[in-house]
Amino acid sequence: MTVSISRRNFLFASAAVGGGLYLGLSPEPAGAAEAGQLNAWVVIPATGRIRIMASNPEVGQGIRTSLPMVIAEELDADWGAVEIVPTIADAKAYGRQVAGGSQAMPTHYENMRRIGAAARAMILDAAAAAWGVPLAELKTDRGQVIHGQRRAPYGQFAAAASALPAPDPARVAVKDPKDFRLIGSFQPGVNNRAIVSGRQDYGIDAVVPGMIHAAFHKSGVQRATVKSANLDAVKAMPGVRDAFIVPASDEYEGLLGGVAILADTTWHAARARNALQVEWNDSPAAFQSSAAWASQATQAKGKPPALAVHAAGDVPAAMAGAAKRLAATYEYPFIPHLPLEPINCTARVTGDRVEIWAPTQNPEPGRAAVAKTLGVPPENITIHMMRVGGGFGRRLQNDYMVEAAQIARMAGRPVKLTWTREDDVTQDFLRPGGWHHLEAGLDAAGRCIAWDNHFISFGRDGKFARAAGIAPSDFPAGMVDHFRLGATVLPLIHTTGFLRAPGNNAFGFVTQGFIDELAHAAGKDPLVFRRELLGAARIIGDPSSRGSYNTGRMRAVLDKAAAMAGWGRKLAPRTGLGIAFHFSHLGYFANVIEASVARDGTVKVHHVWVAGDVGRQIVNPAGAINQVQGSVLDALNACRNHAVTFADGAIEQRNFGDLPLLRMDEAVPIDVAFLTPDYAVTGLGEPAYPAVAPALANAIFAATGVRLRKLPFDFSALKA
Amino acid sequence: MKLNINGKLVEVAADPDMPLLWALRDLLGLTGTKFGCGAGFCGACTVQLDGEPVRGCQTPVSAVGTARITTIEGLSASAWGRKLQDAWVALDVPQCGYCQAGQLLAAEALLRATPKPTDADIDAAMSGNLCRCATYTRIRAAIKQAAAA
C-alpha cells in the first residue's frame, strides 16, 4: 500500500505527569522542546485510562468519534476504556481543525493511523527492554502487552517509552486493513450518553461566572448603520442592565452595526428588544429584490455572458451541425442553513486577553477576526470549540464570535450572545441562488457533443460572492467535446456562504436534470445515456487536483444504485424512478428515487437508494450512514419550501413557519451502499447531497411527463 | 414561586410571563432543555407537564402551577425513559444531538400511552419535533427497539 503524507511531520514524545507517555505530532523537528500535555494526541498514563484527543469541531458528523477510532485502532487500545478529550483550537498543535469541505477524514486519516501505531511501537520497545524478551515475541490486545502467558497494561511501560526517541511517522508500520477490528465497525458517538441525559454542553449552554445575556439587533437590510435608538426606554425595561450602539466596521463582512441589549436572562433581553426603536441610515443593500433579479436573469438569456469561465472545442460550429438541439433554463433560490442551535457565542475580555466559547466549524478565521476587531494579539485568544448543534456550513463564518467579543468588551463583563431564530434566518450567510441558461447538441447517434451554459449568480463588482462561483472543471467539462461555460454576476450585498456541498448542491440538480432531458430527446434510457456520457473508465483532469474526475468510479456507483433500485422494473401508474449522479468533495455518489404523483399534484417519495464511494475504508459505518441519510433528507428539504427571498433589501422569511423542514411523517426509507475501491479515504458530510434533488425531478418526470427545472418544485404544475 | 421539577420542589424567582424554557435554562441552570425557534415550531424545548409533552418556549411559568415538570435531566427516572436512552445510544441516533432531548421526552410520552406503537402512532406523536440533521429513520427504529426491550 502506498501512503502519502502531504507535509513532513515529526512525532515527539515526552513524559506525562506521574509517569506516562505523551505523543504528539509537530511540523517542526524541534516540536518536542515545546511539547507537553497540551498538544499531545495520545496520553498513556502510568495508571488509569488512555486519553485520545479529539481535535476537530463536532457538528454532528461524528468526527470526535471517528478520528479517535483511527488512533485507537492502530494503538490497539480498548475502545470501551479510552477517554476522548476534546481540544481547544490550536492549529499549531493539531493542524487543520475545520468541519468543512468533507476534509477532516482525508486530512487526518493517515496521520492518525501513524500516531496510534507509533505509540504502540514505543510501548512495545519499552516492554521488550523491561521484560528482556525479543520484540518479535510481543503482541498487544486492547491496551495490554502480551508475551506468552504474561500480560501487562500499556501504562506499565509508558514512563520508559516516553524516554525513547519517537519514530519517523513515515516509517511507522501500520496495520494491514484486513486486520482492523475497530475501524469499519459500527460505533455509536462517544457523547451519545451525555446527549440523551441532558449533560452535553453545546455552545449555547456555556456559563461563565459573572456573565450577562445579550441580544444584538441589526437591520434586516444588511450594512444599514444605526442613526438613533431609544436606548433609555430599553434600559428601563425589566431585567435590562445596559443597552448601547455597537458601531459598524467599514469593511465588507466586518462587524455589522446594531444595538446590543444586556439583561439578566436571554428572555429579558429578547423582550426588551420588542420595545427597541431604531432609526437606520440608508444601506447600500436597499436595492436587493428577488423580483428584480429574476427579471435581470431572464433578460440575460441569449446575451453573451460577462465572464468566460471555460471553453473547449467549437461550440457554435458543433451546435450548428448537431442533429438535435435542446435548450432549457434551470434555477434555484437562496437557501438558509437553519442549524437548530441558534447562533450564539460567549466571550470574556480581560485586558488584551480574550476567551471564547463558540460553536464554530472553523475557529482560526474567527481568532483572526476577533484579533483584528479588538486589536489584541491572536495568541492571546483562547477558543473553546463547543459541540455544535448543527453546522451545515453556517458556522464556517465566525461573525457571531466577533460580535460577542466586541459586546463583551463594551459591556466590561462576560457576555453570552444568543441570536433569535429570526436573527438566524434574516442574517444568514445564504447559499446563493442562480440560473443556468443551457443549450446542448446531440449527434445523429444521440450522443451529447455540445454543451453551452450561461450561468447567472451573485456577487459584487462583477466578481462572484462567496460560494457563488463555478469551477471551469465542473461536470460535464471534459466529457463533452464542445463545451462552453460563461457567467454573469448580479449585484448582491447580503452575506453568502458555504452550505453543505457548496455549488454542487445546486449544480447537481441543474446538470443531472438537463442530462435527463437529453436522454429522453435522444430516445435513450436515462441510465444508458449516463453510462455513455461517462464513457470508458478514465481520469479527467489533473489527477493530483481535487477536481479530477474518475469516470470508472462514477460508473460503478451509478450501476450499483440502479441495481439496488431494480432500474427498469414495471411501476404503478403515475409512479416513476429517477436516477442521478454527482461527484463532489472527492466522493462519488449516485442514487435512484421512486416517487408517485397524486392527481392533486402531491408527490410521495417511496424509497431512495444511494450508492457512494469515498475510498477504500468506511471508518465508522454508524456515522457514515447517518451522514448519507441526513444528506438525502436535507436535499429533499430543498425540493420543497426551502427558499429565501428578498424585498426592499431584506430577507422576507422569519422562522420555521416560513421555511418548513421535513418531519418524522415525511422521512422516507433510504438504503445506503458503499463501494470501497482502493483509493484514498475521503469525507462524507457533503457528497451525498447533490444528486438527490435531480433524482426526484427525474422520477417526477418519469411519473408524469412534467419536467421541473426550478427549485423549490412547483407541485401545482403536476396536477393531472 | 415553587416548581416541581424532576421530582423536586424548586424555588424560582421568575417573572410570571417568563417561558418555562428560560426559567429552566437561565435561572435554574437546567440547560438540557434547548432553545430552537421560540415560536413553537421545532419542539427542541419539549418538556413534560404531568407526563404530557409541552413546548417550554410557549408555556409561561405562571401556567405551570403544581404540575410535575419532567426535563431531559429527569428522564432516566422513567423505565421507558431509560429504555429509550439505551436504544438512542446503541443505534447511534444523534447527529448534532441538539433536538434529541425534545425527541426523547415526546417518545417517552408516546410509549407510556402506547407501549407498542405503529408507524402511524410514531408519526403522530413525533412529527412536532424537528430534527435538522434528519435522524428520523433512527428515531423510529430506536422507539421500536425501546418498545421491544
Residue range A659-686, pLDDT digits in tens: 999 999 999 999 999 999 999 999 999 9
Lowest mean pLDDT, pick from A12-16, A505-509, A562-566, B81-85: A12-16
For A350-360, write each residue's pLDDT tens digit: 999 999 999 99
Kindly indicate the confidence band of residue A17, based on its pLDDT and cuts at 50, 70 and 90: low
CB contact under 8 A, B72 and A664: no
Whether A266 has its CB under 8 Å from any CB of chain B: the answer is: yes
The answer to whether residues A64 and A54 touch, using CB atoms and an 8 Å cutoff, is: yes
Q: What backbone phi and psi angles, to 5 degrees, belong to A538? A: -165, 170
For A335-386, write each residue's pLDDT tens digit: 999 999 999 999 999 999 999 999 999 999 999 999 999 999 999 999 999 9
Is the pLDDT at A30 greater than 60? The verdict is: no
pLDDT at residue A33, as a whole number: 41
Contacts of A191 in chain B (CB under 8 A): 94, 97
pLDDT at residue A7, as a whole number: 44
Q: Which residues contact A562 (CB under 8 A, 6 or more apart)?
A: A527, A568, A579, A590, A592
Instruction: Specify the DSSP element, H or E, that contains A141.
Output: strand A139-141
pLDDT at residue A2, as a whole number: 27
The answer to whether residues A60 and B95 touch, using CB atoms and an 8 Å cutoff, is: yes
Nearest CA in chain B to A343: B36
For B21-32, write each residue's pLDDT tens digit: 999 999 999 999
Give A323 to chain B, closest Cα distance, Å. 45
Residue ranges of A 155-194 with Cβ closer than 8 A to chain B: 186-189, 191-193
Share of chain B above pLDDT 70, in %: 100
Alpha-carbon separation of residue A128 from A121, A123, A160 (angstroms): 10, 9, 11
pLDDT at residue A28, as a whole number: 60
pLDDT at residue A35, as a whole number: 40
For A160-205, write each residue's pLDDT tens digit: 998 888 888 888 999 999 999 999 999 999 999 999 999 999 999 9
CB contact under 8 A, B94 and A189: yes
Average confidence score pLDDT of chain A: 94
Size of interface A-B (CB pairs under 8 A): 183
Strand, coil or helix: what is A429?
Answer: coil
Share of chain B above pLDDT 90, in %: 100
| Mean pLDDT for the stretch of residues B118-143 | 98
Domain with CATH 3.10.20.30 in chain B: 2-74
Contacts of B33 in chain A (CB under 8 A): 198
Instruction: Write out the CATH class of domain B76-148.
Output: mainly alpha
Contacts of A204 in chain B (CB under 8 A): 31, 34-35
Residue ranges of B 49-68 with Cβ closer than 8 A to chain A: none
Residue ranges of A 191-230 with Cβ closer than 8 A to chain B: 191-193, 195-202, 204-205, 207, 213
Whether B89 has its CB under 8 Å from any CB of chain A: the answer is: yes
Give B8 to chain A, closest Cα distance, Å. 17
Whether B96 has its CB under 8 Å from any CB of chain A: the answer is: yes
CB contact under 8 A, B37 and A62: no
- The ipTM is 0.99
For B50-99, write each residue's pLDDT tens digit: 999 999 999 999 999 999 999 999 999 999 999 999 999 999 999 999 99
A539 CB-side CA count, 13 A: 9
Contacts of A684 in chain B (CB under 8 A): none
Nearest CA in chain B to A340: B36
Give B10 to chain A, closest Cα distance, Å. 18
Contacts of B19 in chain A (CB under 8 A): 267
Domains and CATH numbers, chain A: 10-185 (3.30.365.10), 203-283+343-418 (3.30.365.10), 290-334+431-718 (3.30.365.10)
Give B137 to chain A, closest Cα distance, Å. 7
Contacts of B93 in chain A (CB under 8 A): 192
Is the pLDDT at A239 greater than 90? The verdict is: yes
Q: Which fold has domain B2-74?
A: Ubiquitin-like (UB roll) (3.10.20)
Residue ranges of B 8-47 with Cβ closer than 8 A to chain A: 15, 18-19, 22, 25-27, 29-39, 41-42, 44
| Mean pLDDT for the stretch of residues A228-238 | 98
Lowest mean pLDDT, pick from A23-32, A534-543, B134-143: A23-32
CB contact under 8 A, B140 and A633: no
pLDDT at residue A221, as a whole number: 98
| Mean pLDDT for the stretch of residues A216-224 | 97
CB contact under 8 A, B22 and A267: yes
pLDDT at residue A449, as a whole number: 98
What is the DSSP pairing of strand A463-464 with strand A324-332? unpaired
pLDDT at residue A18, as a whole number: 66
pLDDT at residue A104, as a whole number: 87
pTM: 0.95
Give B101 to chain A, closest Cα distance, Å. 6
pLDDT at residue A55, as a whole number: 92
Is the pLDDT at A4 greater than 50? The verdict is: no
Strand, coil or helix: what is A349?
Answer: strand
Q: Which of A64, A185, A186, A197 to mutate to test the interface with B (most CBs of B within 10 A)?
A: A197
Share of chain A above pLDDT 70, in %: 96
CB contact under 8 A, A204 and B97: no
pLDDT at residue A168, as a whole number: 85
Kindly indicate the confidence band of residue A107, based on its pLDDT and cuts at 50, 70 and 90: confident
| Mean pLDDT for the stretch of residues A409-425 | 98
pLDDT at residue A263, as a whole number: 98
| CA gyration radius, chain A | 28
The answer to whether residues A232 and A199 touch, using CB atoms and an 8 Å cutoff, is: no
Closest CA to A231 of A221, A220, A240: A240
One DSSP character per residue, A516-585 reads HHHHHHTT--HHHHHHHHH-SS-EES-TTSTT-EEHHHHHHHHHHHHHHHTTT----TTEEEEEEEEEET
Kindly indicate the confidence band of residue A37, based on its pLDDT and cuts at 50, 70 and 90: very low
pLDDT at residue A140, as a whole number: 97
Count CB neighbours of A607 within 10 A. 15
Kindly indicate the confidence band of residue A94, based on its pLDDT and cuts at 50, 70 and 90: confident
- Please give the Cα distance from A635 to A477 (Å, whole number): 24
The answer to whether residues A712 and A693 touch, using CB atoms and an 8 Å cutoff, is: no
pLDDT at residue A123, as a whole number: 95
Kindly indicate the confidence band of residue A8, based on its pLDDT and cuts at 50, 70 and 90: low
Kindly indicate the confidence band of residue A26, based on its pLDDT and cuts at 50, 70 and 90: low
Alpha-carbon separation of residue A243 from A204, A284, A417, A513 (angstroms): 21, 26, 13, 52
- Please give the Cα distance from A390 to B73 (Å, whole number): 21
Domain with CATH 1.10.150.120 in chain B: 76-148
